[in-house]
Amino acid sequence: MPYPDKILLNDPLDMHLHLRDGEMLRRIAPLSAHTFSGAIVMPNLVPPVTDKKALVDYKARIEDAVGNTPFSPYMTLFFKPDYDMAFLSEMREHLSAIKLYPAGITTNSEGGVSSFDIDALRPTLEAMSALEIPLCVHGETDGFVMDREAQFVPIYERLAEAFPELTIVMEHITTKESVAALDRYENLYATITLHHLYITLDDVAGGLLRPHLFCKPIAKRPEDKEALLRVALEAHPKVMFGSDSAPHPKEAKESYGCAAGVFTAPIALQALAQLFETHDAPLENLQAFVSDNAKRIYGVTPPKKEVVLTKRPTEVPAEYGGVVPMFAEERLTFAIEEIIDG
C-alpha cells in the first residue's frame, strides 16, 4: 500500500528541549510552540535552574515568549545531590523532572555531578523516588568521546537497581548498548533525538566537517543508528521523542571552538514524517513515538493540537533568526499543512 500523502499527529510532545533565555528564547520558543503541544524544558541556563524562584520565573518568561499559542512547558530543575525532601516537596507541583548532568560534560554543565557514588546522590534520589519525580540523565562518562555513553550504562544499571521505584530517563541515547539496557530494567526509559536517527559520525566528520551536526553525545556508528531506528520506528513503549534541539548562534557553531548542539525544533515533525515514510513504518507508531508514549510515561495531559502534514517537498530555510537548522537549504518531503489548536 502506498504511504499516505497526509499525516495527522495529535498533541506532539518534545520530551527534551533547550529553549535558552533572553532574546534567543523569544526567537525560538514560538517555533516549538507552533508545532508541539508541550516540551520538557532543560535547565542548563547560566546559572542553571536550581531553585524555585529561578524555575517559576523561567516558566513565566517561556509563557510570555510563546504568547497565546497553547503549549505546556514542562519544567526541570538542575540536579544537585543534596536537595532535601522539604525542598522537593515544595517544588513538586512546579516541576516535571530533574535533569542530572555529569560535571562539564556538555554546554553549561559545569555545576553538575562529579561523583556517581550512589550514597552521595542518595538524599536527592530518595526524595525524588518518594515524590515520583522522574530523573533525566545525560549519560556520558569523561572517557574517550565515542565510548562515553556505553561506559555510562553500568551507572544507569546501578541507579536503576538502587532506586527501583524511580523513573529514570536515559536522555538522547545514541548507542546499541543503551537500547539494550532499556529491556533489562523496568524503570529505565529513553528519549531519542531526530538527528541521531538520521546521522552517524560519518555525517559529522567523515568528509568536510559539518559543525551544525556536532552535538553531545556525538553521533555514533551505523549499527548504533540501526538500533535507535528499530526502537523508534516500532515505538518501543519505553521510548519517547526528545529533540534535544539546542540552538546556538551561527557564529558560535561556525567558529574555532564549535558549540555542541543541533537545532531541529522547527523541522522535527516534518523530518520524522519523512523518516517513517522512508522506512514504511506504521503511522500509529509515529503517533506513539511523538506523543502517546510520553503522555503515559510522564502522566501529562498537554493542550490539544492537531498537526496536519502533507507530502509536498519543501526547502528548509537557511536560518531561523541567526540559528542554522538541521537540513538547512535541503528539501524535506513533508510540510506542515495546518495546525488546529484546541
Active-site positions read 244
How far apart are alpha carbons 218 and 227 in whole angstroms?
A: 16
Comparison of 9 and 213: residue with beta carbon closer to ligand DOR: 213
- Binding-site partner at residue 216 among ligand DOR, Zn ion, none, CB < 5 to 8 Å by type: ligand DOR
Comparison of 108 and 129: residue with beta carbon closer to ligand DOR: 108
Binding to ligand DOR in span 61-90, by CB under 6 A: none
How far apart are alpha carbons 281 and 232 in whole angstroms?
A: 10
Whether the CB-CB separation of 55 and 94 falls below 8 Å is answered with yes
Comparison of 172 and 236: residue with beta carbon closer to ligand DOR: 172
One-letter amino acid identity for 53?
A: K
Comparison of 246 and 290: residue with beta carbon closer to ligand DOR: 246
Residue 44 found at the interface with ligand DOR (CB under 6 A)? yes
Residue 138 found at the interface with ligand DOR (CB under 6 A)? yes
* Binding residue (CB under 6 A) for ligand DOR from 261, 266, 302, 325: 261
CA 52 from centre of chain: 23
Beta strands in the chain (DSSP E): 6-10, 13-17, 38-41, 72-78, 97-100, 135-137, 168-170, 188-192, 239-241, 305-315, 331-341
Q: How far is the CB of 18 from Zn ion (least distance, A)?
A: 6
Q: Residue 176's closest CA among 205, 202, 196, 198?
A: 196
Residue 246 found at the interface with ligand DOR (CB under 6 A)? yes
* Binding residue (CB under 6 A) for ligand DOR from 7, 18, 199, 219: 18
> Per-residue string for binding with Zn ion, 223-252, x by CB under 5 A?
---------------------x--------
- Binding-site partner at residue 107 among ligand DOR, Zn ion, none, CB < 5 to 8 Å by type: ligand DOR
Residue 140 found at the interface with Zn ion (CB under 5 A)? no
Give the burial class of 207: count Cβ atoms within 10 A of its Cβ; 0-12 exposed, 13-18 middle, 19 or more buried: exposed
State the cell numbers at 93. 507541583
Could you tell me how many helices (H) and strands (E) the chain has, helices first?
Answer: 13, 11
Q: How far is the CB of 178 from ligand DOR (least distance, A)?
A: 15
Q: How far is the CB of 7 from ligand DOR (least distance, A)?
A: 28
> Per-residue string for binding with ligand DOR, 97-126, x by CB under 6 A?
---------xx-------------------
Residue 216 found at the interface with ligand DOR (CB under 6 A)? yes
Number of residues that bind ligand DOR (CB under 6 A): 10
Residue 43 found at the interface with ligand DOR (CB under 6 A)? no
Report CA dihedral (81, 83, 89, 95) to the nearest 10 degrees: -70
Comparison of 195 and 305: residue with beta carbon closer to ligand DOR: 195
Q: DSSP labels for 274-311?
A: HHHHHTT--HHHHHIIIIIHHHHHHT--PPPEEEEEEE
Residue 149 found at the interface with Zn ion (CB under 5 A)? no
H-helix or E-strand containing 66?
helix 52-66
| Residue numbers at the binding site for ligand DOR (CB under 6 A) | 18, 44, 106-107, 138, 215-216, 246, 260-261
